Amino acid sequence: MTIDIPFIWIAFKEIVKSLPITLILTVVPLLIGFLIGIAVALVRVYQVKFLYRAANGYVSFFRGTPIIMHVMLIYFGFPLLINQISERFDLGIQANSIPIILFVLTALSLAAGAYLSEIIRSGILSVSNGQLEAAYSVGMTSFQAMIRIILPQALAQSIPNFTNIFVGFLHTSSIAFLVSEKEVTGAANIVASTNLKFLEAFIAAGMIYWGLTIIVEGISFLLEKRVTAYNRGGVS
Amino acid sequence: MGKAFDPLLIIEFIPTLVHYLGVTLQILAASIFLGLILGIAAAIPRLFKIPLLNQVVILYVSFIRGTPIIIQLFLVFYGLPAVLMLFNIDISKLEAIYFVIITYAISNGASFAEIFRGAIRAVDYGQTEAAYSVGMTARQNFFRVVFPQAIRIAFPNMANSVIGSLKDTSLAFTIGVMDMVGRGDTLIASTAHALEVYISLSIIYYAVVLLFEKIFSKLEKYFNRYQKSNVSTTA
């Protein structure tokens, strides 16, 4: 087996077409996960009765099991659930008619919610208590203080962590190919097995992921500089 | 899509699957051990800014951080035999588990290298100055003063890395390794109860991760035993 270098470029052009699916599988779960994450983080920070335990359990479970398990549990579990509900209430919805990508998106969103809630929570806890006291002293309500003072600082401080999660989920989206989703890894797998050139196809896929990661890290670096511009430290 | 859901099967599957936990832990232990060696080797050029090697390590870390583990797995699985063939070494008959261990070792090595580098640089330079002022050599300073403090700083990140790696081993089955998930796959093929198998697998992974977290938090307390409580990271 030798390496066919020109084929890497051919494979690259073929695989790059599936990039939109990878991006959807990365961005949508992170957006939904962000909303879940904020809600869960607030529940945990304020220690809302009863809900607090549920939130802890959710975060602990999703962080404590591989994401491939979440994908598989939902991929196999939801159709059963949907069919059962549909039968009971006579809704006439067939689980087979639901595109697989929705199951994958659900699973990834739930996982993203758990990871993001931890980041947002630690962001909130890292904002100095004096900020909250200052907000109260000028007459803000708890809600105003949270929305106007605490959250913006917490989120700005969390940018490096958000970048890590973004890159992490970009890479995690590759497991969608295990449920035959045609994103970058899935496309690479197809190109590889139809041409019997596995190494070249995966080199091309690797380059796509690597390039994307470098771009994302670059953007995050610029963003961090901008967003934390107010935060100059003590003397200057 | 298989047969009706049967909760009893979940309990029935667990012992069968736990039997293969050993393989998963074996992959983990071997790849962590090799990763530690690789990580230390990779951190040195970064810390001492050795020309060329420094750039090679930067590229290595960037690549590992920039690609999904599953792609790395495929690259090693298909690439390593091709590369070694150039030197007339035939490893195409090698068992899949070795490719998994090599991949995870390379991947862990990159994250460990970054963790070590960060930890050593996080030790206050005043410590080194103090060590020199009492007449220690550079080597004594490193092993007696800087390194023990760096371990304490690196430990929580290392623990996270190990747990992440444990969860990543669940992808080993994609190249045909008979670990827990691989065994689960064959169970699905023979019983068609996919959901129950994956619930059992999740329970086992969750239990192992919780156990690891418990052990690591104990160890972290131990490493921080000389820290004053107000600066402890375990609070």
- With CB atoms and an 8 Å threshold, state whether A175 touches B70: yes
**Maximum mean pLDDT: which of A62-76, A150-164, B4-18:** A62-76
pLDDT of A95 above 80: no
Please name the residues in contact with B130: beta carbons below 8 A apart, sequence gap of 6 or more.
B145
Q: How far apart are CA B34 and CA B57, in angstroms?
A: 16
Based on the fold, state whether residues A126 and A219 are members of the same structural domain.
no
Number of domains, chain A: 2
- Contact list in A for residue B168 (CB cut-off 8 A) is 66
- Average model confidence (pLDDT) for chain B? 89
Is the Cβ–Cβ distance between A86 and B208 less than 8 Å? no
Based on the fold, state whether residues A160 and A219 are members of the same structural domain.
no
The rounded percent of chain B whose pLDDT value lies above 90 is 60
SS3 for chain B is CCCCCCHHHHHHHHHHHHCCHHHHHHHHHHHHHHHHHHHHHHHHHHHCCCCCHHHHHHHHHHHHHHCCHHHHHHHHHHHHHHHHHHCCCCCCCCCHHHHHHHHHHHHHHHHHHHHHHHHHHHCCHHHHHHHHHCCCCHHHHHHHHHHHHHHHHHHHHHHHHHHHHHHHHHHHHHHCCCCHHHHHHHHHHHHCCHHHHHHHHHHHHHHHHHHHHHHHHHHHHHHCCCCCHHHCCCC
Q: What are phi and psi of A151, to 5 degrees?
A: -60, -45
Pick from A69, A205, A210: CB nearest B202: A69
pLDDT of B103 above 90: yes
- With CB atoms and an 8 Å threshold, state whether B66 touches A174: no
Based on the fold, state whether residues A50 and A135 are members of the same structural domain.
yes
- Contact list in A for residue B211 (CB cut-off 8 A) is none
Pick from B75, B198, B205: CB nearest A202: B75
- With CB atoms and an 8 Å threshold, state whether A76 touches B168: no
Based on the fold, state whether residues A167 and A196 are members of the same structural domain.
no
Instruction: Kindly state whether residue A235 falls inside one of the protein's structural domains.
Output: no
Based on the fold, state whether residues A42 and A6 are members of the same structural domain.
no
Instruction: Kindly state whether residue A164 falls inside one of the protein's structural domains.
Output: yes
Nearest to A108 by CA among A74, A143, A76, A147: A74
Among A68, A173, A184, the residue to mutate for chain B (most B Cβ within 10 A): A68
CB pairs under 8 A between A and B: 100
Based on the fold, state whether residues A135 and A196 are members of the same structural domain.
no
The structure tokens listed for A133 are 């006291």
Instruction: Kindly state whether residue A233 falls inside one of the protein's structural domains.
Output: no
Interface of B with A (CB under 8 A): 1-2, 5, 62-63, 65-72, 74-75, 78-79, 81-82, 85, 167-168, 170-171, 174, 181, 194-195, 198-199, 201-202, 205-206, 209-210, 213
Nearest to A112 by CA among A174, A32, A173: A32
Residue A58 banded pLDDT, cuts 50, 70, 90: very high
Give the range of the structural domain holding residue A124, as residue numbers without chain letter: 22-178
Closest residue of A to B92, CA-based? A1
Closest residue of B to A175, CA-based? B70
pLDDT of residue A30: 96
Among B169, B175, B206, B210, the residue to mutate for chain A (most A Cβ within 10 A): B206
- Residue with the bigger pLDDT between A93 and A197: it is A197
pLDDT of residue B232: 47
Residue B1 banded pLDDT, cuts 50, 70, 90: very low
Condensed to tens digits (0 to 9), the pLDDT of residues B34-53 reads 999 999 999 999 988 899 99
pLDDT of residue B234: 47
Based on the fold, state whether residues A174 and A186 are members of the same structural domain.
no
- Contact list in A for residue B74 (CB cut-off 8 A) is 198, 202
Based on the fold, state whether residues A98 and A50 are members of the same structural domain.
yes
Is the Cβ–Cβ distance between B20 and B179 less than 8 Å? yes
pLDDT of residue B32: 95
Q: What's the angle, vertex CA A204, arms to CA B80 and CA A115, rounded to 5?
A: 90
Based on the fold, state whether residues A80 and A134 are members of the same structural domain.
yes
Closest residue of A to B61, CA-based? A210
- Residue with the bigger pLDDT between B196 and A88: it is B196
- Contact list in A for residue B115 (CB cut-off 8 A) is none
Instruction: Kindly state whether residue A100 falls inside one of the protein's structural domains.
Output: yes
Closest residue of A to B88, CA-based? A1
pLDDT of B235 above 50: no
- Contact list in A for residue B181 (CB cut-off 8 A) is 68
Based on the fold, state whether residues A106 and A8 are members of the same structural domain.
no
A200 to chain B nearest CA, in Å?
A: 9
Mean pLDDT of B59-87: 91
Mean pLDDT of A127-154: 91
pLDDT of residue A167: 94
- Contact list in B for residue A221 (CB cut-off 8 A) is none
- Contact list in A for residue B65 (CB cut-off 8 A) is 167, 213
Closest residue of B to A95, CA-based? B1
Based on the fold, state whether residues A116 and A195 are members of the same structural domain.
no
Which CATH number characterizes residue A154's domain? 1.10.3720.10
Based on the fold, state whether residues A14 and A62 are members of the same structural domain.
no
Instruction: Please report the ipTM that was assigned to this predicted complex.
Output: 0.86
